[in-house]
Amino acid sequence: MNEPVIIARHLSHTYQSGPLRKAALIDVDLEIARGSCAAIIGVTGSGKTTLVQHFNGLLRPTSGSIVVDGIDVGASGADLKALRQRVGMLFQFPEAQLFARTVYEDVAFGPRRMGLDRRAVRSRVIAALETVGLPKREYGSRSPFDLSGGQQRRIALAGVLAMQPSILVLDEPTVGLDADGREEFYSYLWRARKERSITIILVSHDMTEVAALADTLFVMHSGRLVMQGTPRQIFAEGDQLRKWGLAVPPLSELLLLLRRRGAAIPATAFTLDEAFEALQNSGRISKTT
């Protein structure tokens, strides 16, 4: 694939508050290819949030190194301001961070803080709002609080896109949205990815979503990176994932069950089409006992 945009080597992070120490990340080695879509999965407390907060310098490593888009996050004197422009981050329920009086003002916050002149800010805001399907001439002067939850979330996305990051990290981007809302959000996200060649990093609990969208999956457990690979590879290991507290997409679960009952379904079968083909080809499935 492409050259890696994020490289972590022996990355570790330990929280220290008074006498309490917590090793949140232990010896993580990973590489994320530029332009790809990577997903990081793990239960709460597995370290996935701590990991992604290193990508934009919100956290610095306590040992090991992590280089993001050429910037060594752990180095003293690292230009964290430049890093935050290149790595956009959308937290859970991002609509909760909207605060300006108009949609335009909120989206313009990021570019303005980058020190751009008024014309540059304006063109960026217009472009970002266009990308998320809320064009400026219709929505620019409205109050963000008048819009629906899904629209507000897209405004928050536009606010981050307006900074023109090369990497976008999203933490549970579709939690609380229904099927339509989810599809809508991803359609705009993918549009942004294509238009601007952004590397996307997802942190998600939704395995179906992750299975459909991610090129690479990183599985975290107790602060360590325990598995990485394509969704196809990872979700074939249902039992192991369950030990780590994770579910697999329902279809993978079904295929696992069938395989256990003796069906001749190749382990590589993963999508709906492949499952259909495999079952058609195998004909009836005979019970083993």
What residues make contact with other proteins under the rule CB under 8 A? 15, 17-18, 20, 43-44, 53, 56, 58, 81, 84-85, 88-89, 91-92, 94, 96-99, 109-110, 113-114, 143, 145-146, 159-160, 163, 175-182, 205-208, 245-247, 249-251, 253-254, 257-258, 261-263, 272, 275-276, 279-280, 285, 287
Q: Which residues, in sequence order, are CB contacts of 32 under 8 Å at separation 6+?
A: 4, 5, 6, 38, 199, 201, 216
For residue 112, the minimal CB distance to other proteins (Å) is: 8
102 versus 230: smaller Cβ distance to other proteins: 102
3-class SS of residue 102:
coil
Give CA–CA dist 56/90, Å, rounded. 11
Q: Which is nearer to other proteins, 9 or 102 (CB)?
A: 102
- φ/ψ region of 92 (left if φ > 0, alpha if ψ in -120 to 50, else beta) reads beta
Closest approach of other proteins to the CB of residue 14, in Å: 11
| Inter-residue long-range contacts of 190-193, CB under 8 Å, 24+ positions, other chains counted | 191/131, 192/131, 192/132, 192/157, 192/161, 192/168, 193/37, 193/168
Shortest Cβ 1–other proteins spacing (Å): 27
Q: How far is the CB of 188 from other proteins (least distance, A)?
A: 17
Alpha-carbon gap, residue 106 to 101, rounded angstroms: 7
Q: Edge-to-edge strand order for the sheet containing 63-68?
A: 20-33, 4-17, 63-68, 71-72
Closest distance between other proteins and the C-beta of residue 81, in Å?
7
What's the DSSP call for residue 159? H
Q: For residues 110 and 173, which CB has a smaller minimum distance to other proteins in the complex?
A: 110
Q: Which is nearer to other proteins, 18 or 76 (CB)?
A: 18
- Relative orientation angle of helices 149-161 and 103-113, to the nearest 10 degrees: 20
Among residues 9 and 266, whose Cβ is nearest to other proteins?
266
Q: Provide the CA 127 distance to its chain's centre, in angstroms.
A: 22
| Shortest distance in whole angstroms from residue 15 CB to other proteins | 6
Closest contact distance (angstroms) between CB of 233 and other proteins is 18
Residue closer to other proteins, measured from CB, 84 or 154: 84
- Which residue, 194 or 243, is less far from other proteins as judged by CB? 243
- Residue 64 pairs in a beta bridge with none
CA torsion, points 6, 31, 245, 240, in degrees to nearest 10?
170
Q: CB of 57: closest distance to other proteins in angstroms?
A: 9
Amino acid at 183: E
Closer to other proteins by CB, 2 or 63: give it.
Answer: 63
Longest dimension (CA), the chain: 74
